[in-house]
Structure 1
Amino acid sequence: MRAILALGLVLLLPALAACAGDERDYTVPTSLCGTPVDSELLEPLLPIGKELGRKGGFSGQEGPKQICTVRVDCTAWLVTHGEWREGGYTALDAARDRRGRGGEHAADGGKVAYWDQGAATVVPCRSEKWRAQTFSVVVESVYRDGRKGDIDALNAFVESYGKAVAERLPCA
C-alpha cells in the first residue's frame, strides 16, 4: 500500500509543479475576453506565475449577464461580471448584489464601489433588447489566499475597464 501511495505522489508532483511558479512568465494582457484593458492597471491585480488564460465574453451583446474569468497557473484569479440593469442602479447596488455580505463602500463620488476583494461601476447605456438603462461592471479578485485585495488597484482598474466596456456596448 505504501508503494502505491509513494508512486501516486511521484506521479502527482510534476502536475502540481506545472501549476506553480515564482515569477511572472506570462505577458500581462491588453484585453480581457475581447475588451481592451490598460495592462499597467491590470498588472497589480495578477500574481506571479507561468501561464495566463481567459475565458468568456464581455461586450454587452452576448446576453443579459456576462462573465470573463482570468486564470493564472490553473487557478481562477480575476473574474469580471457584467449585467444589464434598470435606470437608477448604482455602483454600490452592484457591489451589494455581487457581494451580499456587507462591507461595501462608495468611492469617487459614487462612480465606484468596492469591498475587500472587488470593485464595481455602472455605465449609462440604454438597451431595448435587454430592457435596461445601465450596465454594471464588477471586477473580483477571487483567489487571494484569504488576503485583502489591493483596493486602490481594483478601483482604478474597474473605472478604466468600465469605460472600455461602455465603448463596446450596443447603446440605443
Structure 2
Amino acid sequence: MRRFLASGVQSLLLTFGVSAAMLLVVSCDSSPERNYSVPRNLCGLSLPKQEYSTLFGAGDEIGREDHPENLGSREVGIQGCRYSVEESTVSVTGEWVQENDKAAPSTPQEGVKAHNTRDKPRKYAGRYDVATWRNGAVTVVDCPRPPGDKDRLFSRLLLDIYANDTQLSDDPDRAHKVFGKLAQDAMGEVMKKLDCKRKPKTA
C-alpha cells in the first residue's frame, strides 16, 4: 500500500513538473511581437537593417513623421524623421548649430545631456566625434559654408539618434556598442550628401 502511494505521488509530481514546463514555454511564446516591417532605410539613410532593427520594438503598426528638411540638407532647420510604434519612438534628427553655441547643444556630450538623462555620456571611438547613452547617441561634424553664405556661422551639423523603448535600455554596454556604431555609420552616410572643405574631426 505504501509503495502504491509513493508511486502515485511521484506520478503527480512528474505530471506537475511537465505541466509547469509547458506553461513556461507557452508564456515565453506569447511575448509581444513585431507585426510590422522594419523600414528599408533609416530616415533616408542607406544602412544595413541589422544595425538599426533592434531599435524597433513590438507593435502592430509603424508611423513616420518627416521633419522639414532631409538629412544632409544645408538648410538651417530640423532634418530627419521620427518613427512611432505604439508608445515608443525612434528618431534620427539633424540640426545645424554654431560651434561653441551658448544657447543650444553643439557637442555630442551636450546633446546627450539635453535629453535630461542621468546617464553619463560615453565616448565611442571612430572617425566622428560620438557620445552614447542608453537610449541613443549624438555625433557632430564641422562643415564650413562657402564665403558669403547667410548662415555661415551654422557650420556644425549635430546628429541625434534616439530610441526610447528597446531592450538596449537595460544593457548599457550593448547600447553603447549598437548606438555608437550606428551613429558613426549614419554620419558617414550624411557626409556623402555634403560638400565639406575640411575633414571631420577624429575621435
Shared fold per TM-score greater than 0.5: yes
- Which structure has the larger Rg? 2
Which residue of structure 1 lines up, in the alignment, with residue 154 of structure 2?
Answer: 132
Rounded to whole Å, the distance in 1 between the matches of 2:177 and 2:89 is 17
Contact 2:96 2:158 in 1 (8 A): yes
Rounded to whole Å, the distance in 2 between the matches of 1:159 and 1:146 is 18
Task: Tell me which moved more, 101-110 or 119-128.
Answer: 101-110
The aligned length equals 151
Query: Of Structure 1 and Structure 2, which has the larger fraction of its residues in strand?
Result: 1
Which residue of structure 1 lines up, in the alignment, with residue 176 of structure 2?
Answer: 151
User: Percent same amino acid among aligned pairs?
Assistant: 24
2:34 is paired with a residue of what secondary structure? Answer: coil
Cα RMSD, aligned residues only: 3.0
Contact 2:112 2:133 in 1 (8 A): yes
Output aligned runs, 1:1-172, within 5 Å. 22-57=32-67, 58-59=70-71, 60-61=73-74, 63-72=76-85, 74-87=86-99, 89-99=106-116, 101=118, 103-108=120-125, 111-127=129-145, 128-130=149-151, 131-144=153-166, 147-148=169-170, 150-169=175-194, 171=196
Amino acid at match of 1:119: A
Q: What whole-Å deviation, never above 9, does each CA across 1:81-131 have from its counterpart, x for those lacking one? A: 211122464322332344465521212167210112111111232243533
Rounded to whole Å, the distance in 2 between the matches of 1:36 and 1:67 is 13
Contact 2:119 2:134 in 1 (8 A): no
Rounded to whole Å, the distance in 2 between the matches of 1:62 and 1:30 is 25
TM-score by length of 1: 0.69
TM-score by length of 2: 0.60
Contact 1:125 1:166 in 2 (8 A): no
User: Any unmatched runs of 5+ in structure 1?
Assistant: 1-20
Which residue of structure 1 lines up, in the alignment, with residue 26 of structure 2?
Answer: none
